[in-house]
C-alpha cells in the first residue's frame, strides 16, 4: 500500500493552483512601469508614505531583532 505524504501533496496542489491562476490572469502584457507604479496612477504622497513606512518599519524590525538577540528573551519591555 502506498503511503501519501499529505503535506507535500498540499504544497504541490497549492503551487499548481497558483500557476493556473497566474496563467489565467496574465492575458495582457504588462510593462515594468505598469507593474512597479501602476502606470503612474498613484499620487506622489501615496508613494512617499509607502517608502517611509517601508524604511522605518523595516529598520525598526532589524534593530529590535538585534536587540533581542543581544539581551535575550528575559526582559519584559523589548520595544522601549
Is the residue at 80 inside a domain? Answer: no
Residue 19 lies in domain = 6-71
For 24-58, letters b (16+ CB in 10 Å) and e give: eeeeeeeeeeeeeeeeeeeeeeeeeeeeeeeeeee
Total domains in the chain come to 1
Is the residue at 11 inside a domain? Answer: yes
Is the residue at 23 inside a domain? Answer: yes
Is the residue at 77 inside a domain? Answer: no
| pLDDT attached to residue 50 | 85
Is the residue at 1 inside a domain? Answer: no
| pLDDT attached to residue 74 | 63
- pLDDT tens-digit map of 15-60: 999 999 988 887 776 777 777 776 677 788 888 888 888 877 777 7
- pLDDT tens-digit map of 21-32: 988 887 776 777
Amino acid at each position: 500500500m502506498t503511503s501519501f505524504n499529505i503535506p507535500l501533496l498540499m504544497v504541490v496542489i497549492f503551487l499548481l493552483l497558483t500557476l493556473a491562476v497566474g496563467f489565467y490572469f496574465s492575458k495582457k502584457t504588462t510593462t515594468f512601469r505598469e507593474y512597479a507604479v501602476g502606470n503612474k496612477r498613484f499620487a506622489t504622497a501615496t508613494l512617499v508614505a509607502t517608502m517611509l513606512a517601508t524604511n522605518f518599519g523595516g529598520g525598526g524590525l532589524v534593530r529590535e531583532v538585534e536587540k533581542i538577540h543581544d539581551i535575550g528573551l528575559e526582559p519584559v519591555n523589548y520595544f522601549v
